[in-house]
A = this chain, B = another copy of it.
Amino acid sequence: MLRLGVDVGGTFIKAGVVDESYTILHKVSVPTGGDGGFQTVVQNIAHVAELAAQEAGLAVGDFESVGIGIPGLLNPKTGVVVSAPNLSGWQNVPFLDAIQKLLPVPVRVGNDANCAVVGETLAGAAKGCQNVVMLTLGTGVGGGIVADGKLFVGGQGLGAELGHMVLQMGGTTCGCGMKGCIEAYCSVTALVKQTIRAMEADPSSIMHAYAKEAGLVDGRTAFECSKKGDKAAVEVVEYYCRYLANAIGSLVIAFRPDVVLIGGGLSNQRDYLMDKLNALLPQYVFASDIIGVPPILRATLGNDAGTIGAAFLDRM
């Protein structure tokens, strides 16, 4: 039977019809409509499920199940979303109850970063692994953990918020209001801020020309100019990688995964990023001289990881 995986983002709700071999057969999306509040988004999710079913020549009731990834803190058992900063009015809302009423098949819900690590572990870069740590580097830093073959979500399903674990006590203020979070150093947002600072300090950097041509400063600016040997860009990338490697090292000490996955747009830097991180990692892992370190790999499924993982949340 086919399943439906749904990824609720701040702008679009994306859905994919997934078969038993983890292949996405059809994709559809609708605007999230977050400004309309909780009930509007719930109705839009039901609507995207109907569109996906039509696309597959089915009714929603023909799906084996529907899985939904949410960008926020939620208890996957009760289905209550405690907080979702990108969705207006989603604070302590009984999401699973509300959407289950509109869909005639079993519904499961999960945090979006958790769905991504499930997808990558079932069908992507961590296929077959029993212990996985995944960081999704974007506007923020999302975290997902598979431990002993199961999705690890912590008490009440509210743990594994890896982006807000401490990296430098008292350091840079994070979007969450705390100081020194991993996210404050390792998100693409943080990388862009650091890039802009370096550009301001060095008018001769080729990053100025690169950004002008691209029309903006983004996560690529420093990386692409670093590849061309630009001194300021090299320093930005080295600084960024050092912080990210230390954050990963700390997570390895806690979870001892078989593999660490990097997802999000920055993972497009492929070996250029992974080689640096893998070279730096041992110095940030306790007893790495005796027990080694796991490889850091690029997540391979991109946005599909969340869709596939949502559809198969019950497999982990």
Interface residues, chain A, CB within 8 Å of chain B? Answer: 73, 82-83, 91-92, 130-131, 147-148, 152, 154-162, 164-171, 176, 178, 180-181, 243, 246-247, 249-250, 253-258, 283-284, 286-287, 290-291, 294
Contacts and interface: CB of A to CB of B under 8 A. Distances in A.
A144 to B, nearest CB: 12
Which of A83, A147, A170, A258 gathers most chain B CB within 10 Å? A147
Contacts of A162: 253-254
Given A91-B290, A255-B154, A168 B168 contact: yes
A111 to B, nearest CB: 12
Contact of A290 (B82, B167, B247, B250): B82
B166 A249 contact: yes
A9 B300 CA distance: 46
A159 B284 contact: no
A146 to B, nearest CB: 10
Contact of A286 (B164, B257, B287): B164
A243 to B, nearest CB: 7
Contacts of A287: 73, 82-83, 161, 176
Contact of A155 (B170, B181, B258, B290): B258
A50 B283 CA distance: 44
A61 to B, nearest CB: 33
Contacts of A168: 168-170, 180
15 contacts: A73-B291, A82-B287, A131-B155, A147-B147, A147-B152, A154-B254, A157-B256, A159-B253, A161-B287, A165-B250, A168-B168, A168-B170, A176-B286, A176-B287, A178-B286
A160 B131 CA distance: 13
Given A160-B254, A167-B169, A169-B168, A283 B178 contact: yes
